[in-house]
Structure 1
Amino acid sequence: MRRAFLAILLCLAAAGAANQRLYLKDGTFHVVREYKVDGDRVRYYSVERGDWEEIPLELVDLKKTKDTAQEREETARKEQAEFDAEEKFERAMRAEIERIPQNPGAYYIDGGELRAIKQAESKIQGNKRRSILKAITPIPIMSGKATVELDGATAPLAVTASKPEFYFRLAEPERFAIVKLAPTKAGNRVVAKVDIVPVVNERIETVDAVDIFRHQVGEGLYKIWPVNPLEPGEYAVVEYTETKVNFQIWDFSYRPGK
């Protein structure tokens, strides 16, 4: 919207670029197409009356006329440069978005390279038993507390940027986030803590979500990145429906300087 508005302003500015203000010393001005000093007179083409006219030079404020024209030109140049920069950015964004596969999932932007992140397989760790949880399999009914975990201490993908950028294509209209993972004594990583109330079949998930910017760039497609620089550690892009414990997880490590 802002870029379209700026384009309209530039078009209007271009349409009126040939016109300028010829200021008089009494503070008024004439809108003129052009003017020239001819001895002790100033000849100008009046836009209002569509004809050449002249006025005594002593009545004209030439300095203000020239300064205003110069300021207008500088403003026009800055606006054009801003428009060109935004247009270049939009073209680059469109080209980048066209590279995103149609398959749901998370994609990492590594410089000019786009990398698909492999979806992780998570496990439910309860008080008494442990079971493999596929991406959309509900949690077994059990009382007490449980955790959604990933095997291993680190993710296969390591990023070095403190504010990594991802594209995320949703499988369903669900919640999504970047979450910080917590280590366990067994050498795994906790994605979420789950409180389970079996009588009402209620499951309450708690995740350590990172504040993120999210920019929708297409149908079900978002560009996301952290608001603040990440601390070194383990993270994941997750998609889930609250109370369903149906986490889909794409994990990564932030290792600066690696």
Structure 2
Amino acid sequence: MTAPSASVSTRDSSSLDETDGHTSDQATLTKQLLAECRQLRETVEAQKQTIEKQQQTITDQVSRINTLEDRVDELEADSEKTRDIARSASAKAEQAIADTDTQEDAETLPQGVEPSSSPLDFFANCRQSKIKELFVEQSNRSNTYWAICVAKRWPEFAQRRTDGSGIFFTRDHLETALTAHLGESPHRQTIHRVWDQLQDLGGEDVRVKRRQVGRSQEPKELLTMDMDTAEGLLDSRYLGLDLLEATAGKTRTGGVTPVVTGVTG
């Protein structure tokens, strides 16, 4: 009976040793995992701080860029005003000494500025804010103002001729341009009135043509301009020359450019 007891005692001791070994390994593994967790937390915290610093740096840089852009806009505006003042002063000086009877000759105009070929050409080359003041704020002739704005935006909305010799507007082109300008789809009557104003203002510069693609299709009306005329709308050659005087129904230009009268709508 004594021998079996000794055998059992030996097995129990061995089992206890194995259990202690497993417990020790688990404790070691737990310590390692805890250490790794602490290291990961420290790494994450360090990265978080780095990201916050980078975000703050980006925010500061964006703020500086915005400030610089605002400053550039201010400088450009100041520069434009300065140029206008200088051009106006120069034009007035030349007009003061010039014989008004010879002003019909384009070569004698202030700073070599050419006279306008039509009311549309004249108004398109004046400052747009002044045109808006004249036709919208002072005389409630918005259709005239919109016609001028649409004409100036021909590079965006008009169709170029395939040979590059000119451009043309369809009523669809005009509707698209007015939608972009007004921020909403224009009323059909508005499209019709602006179309008529664009034709009236253009005089000989704007011609009406009809195009029919196929026999089954209705012919479309086109408002056409030569490329030289269209590009002339973008010259801004009357800015700063003080040629625009808001009066009831007419705009006198001091002899520098043909007198524009009878503008309605």
Q: Same fold (TM over 0.5)?
A: no
Higher strand share: 1
Which has the higher relative contact order, 1 or 2, with Cα contacts under 8 A spaced 6 or more apart? Answer: 2
Task: Specify the structure having the higher radius of gyration (Cα).
Answer: 2
- The TM-score bracket by the shorter chain reads under 0.3
Task: Report the TM-score when normalising by structure 2.
Answer: 0.27
Higher helix share: 2
